């Protein structure tokens, strides 16, 4: 009888070792669903893991990231608030919460979270880049350049930081140097539509309208619904006296340009009539 009980106990221990708890099982299922880009399913699995283990920080983090993929950034913040309560020294938790705040326009709050992430992990590349972008938006361009440069020093192949630094340089009027950063971002990621768009804007500000149009063409090729690219390509075409092309693009960029675009289109149409009348 004793041998039987001992054997039974051994089998029970082996079973417990081989099979995870129910909470861990749902956590694994959630990660699998997330990797398959089934974010709704992932959230349901993380919900179940949390209901079984309310102090499972990893489940809250997984659910928060899945919510972010579905643009529920308020939900991201709520979940990472809990992660931080459970794991107050988790640098990535502060970064993820800061990133969600950044997307929602809470740039000052985002900077506080990025500060904390960097304090906990002085080599947190994404936190430096995120803080740099937030500083740029708030008008602290010099501080932004410093943070984005630090991110690049830590990872010379981090294209997001090059693009962010290029945008900041544009805000400082340093278009030539900005173009170099956009060139590097494109070299690292040839599908970065933001880098092409912003390089086009920088070229336009330097009077290189032909080069600007080429970059806006590439932006539109990759993102046919980019009204900003149509609007600015229309302006570049107007500078090159391609008035018909300008009107066509500005019509497509109305959403971005607003009432200003309507006025420009009207003036261009009048100019086209005058040119036609003069030639006639």
Which residue ranges form the domains of the chain, and what is each CATH number?
Answer: 24-88 (1.25.40.10)
Query: According to the model, what pLDDT value does residue 7 have?
Result: 37
Predicted model pTM: 0.83
pLDDT tens, position by position, 102-155: 999 999 999 999 999 999 999 999 999 999 999 999 999 999 999 999 999 999
279 has a pLDDT exceeding 80? no
Which among 192, 18, 191 has a CA at the least distance from the CA of 166? 192
Whether the pLDDT of residue 64 is over 60: the answer is yes
SS3 238: helix
Q: What φ, ψ does residue 52 adopt, rounded to 5°?
A: -85, -25
Residue 241 backbone zone (phi > 0: left; psi -120 to 50: alpha; other: beta): left
Residue 219 pLDDT exceeds 90: yes
pLDDT of residue 22: 85
pLDDT confidence of residue 20: 54
Digit-coded pLDDT (tens) for 223-267: 999 989 998 999 999 999 998 998 899 888 765 555 555 555 455
As a whole number, the mean pLDDT across the chain is 87
pLDDT at 268: 54
Q: What is the pLDDT of residue 23?
A: 86
Query: What are 84-99's pLDDT values in tens digits?
Result: 999 999 999 999 999 9
Rounded mean pLDDT, 31-51:
96
- Three-class DSSP category at 207: coil
Tokens of 153: 């020093």
pLDDT of residue 21: 73
The answer on pLDDT for 30 being more than 50 is yes
Contacts of 8 (CB under 8 A, 6+ apart): none
User: Higher confidence at residue 80 or residue 9?
Assistant: 80
Residue reference for tokens 């971005």: 256
Locus of tokens 């992660």: 83
**Inter-residue contact 33 to 41 (CB < 8 Å):** yes
Per cent of the chain over pLDDT 90 is 77
Question: CB–CB of 260/228 below 8 Å?
Answer: no
Q: Could you identify the residue written with the tokens 């991201």?
A: 76
Query: How many whole angstroms separate alpha carbon 198 and alpha carbon 68?
Result: 25
Q: Where is average pLDDT lowest: 4-8, 77-81, 101-105, 223-227? A: 4-8
Question: Quick one: what percent of the chain has pLDDT higher than 70?
Answer: 83
Cite the DSSP H helix spans in 19-69: 22-35, 39-52, 57-69
The pLDDT of residue 271 is above 50: no
């Amino acid at each position: 009888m004793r041998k039987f009980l001992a054997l039974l106990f051994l089998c029970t221990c082996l079973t417990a070792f081989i099979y995870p708890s129910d909470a861990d099982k749902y956590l694994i299922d959630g990660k699998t669903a997330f990797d398959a880009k089934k974010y709704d399913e992932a959230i349901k699995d993380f919900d179940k893991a949390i209901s079984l283990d309310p102090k499972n920080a990893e489940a809250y983090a997984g659910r928060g990231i899945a919510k972010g993929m579905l643009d529920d950034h308020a939900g991201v913040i709520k979940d990472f608030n809990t992660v931080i309560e459970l794991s107050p020294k988790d640098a990535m938790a502060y970064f993820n919460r800061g990133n969600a705040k950044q997307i929602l326009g809470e740039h000052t709050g985002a900077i506080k979270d990025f500060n904390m992430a960097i304090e906990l992990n002085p080599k947190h590349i994404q936190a430096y880049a995120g803080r740099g972008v937030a500083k740029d938006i708030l008008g602290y361009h010099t501080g932004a350049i410093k943070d984005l440069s630090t991110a690049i020093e830590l990872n010379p192949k981090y294209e997001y930081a090059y693009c962010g630094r290029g945008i900041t340089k544009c805000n400082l009027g340093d278009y030539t140097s900005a173009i170099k950063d956009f060139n590097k971002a494109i070299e690292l990621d040839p599908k970065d539509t933001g880098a092409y768009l912003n390089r086009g804007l920088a070229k336009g500000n330097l009077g290189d309208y032909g080069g600007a149009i080429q970059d806006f063409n590439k932006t539109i090729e990759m993102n046919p619904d980019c009204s900003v690219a149509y609007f600015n390509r229309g302006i570049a075409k107007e500078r090159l006296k391609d008035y018909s092309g300008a009107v066509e693009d500005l019509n497509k960029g109305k959403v971005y340009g607003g009432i200003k675009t309507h006025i420009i289109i009207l003036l261009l149409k009048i100019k086209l009539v005058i040119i036609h009348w003069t030639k006639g």
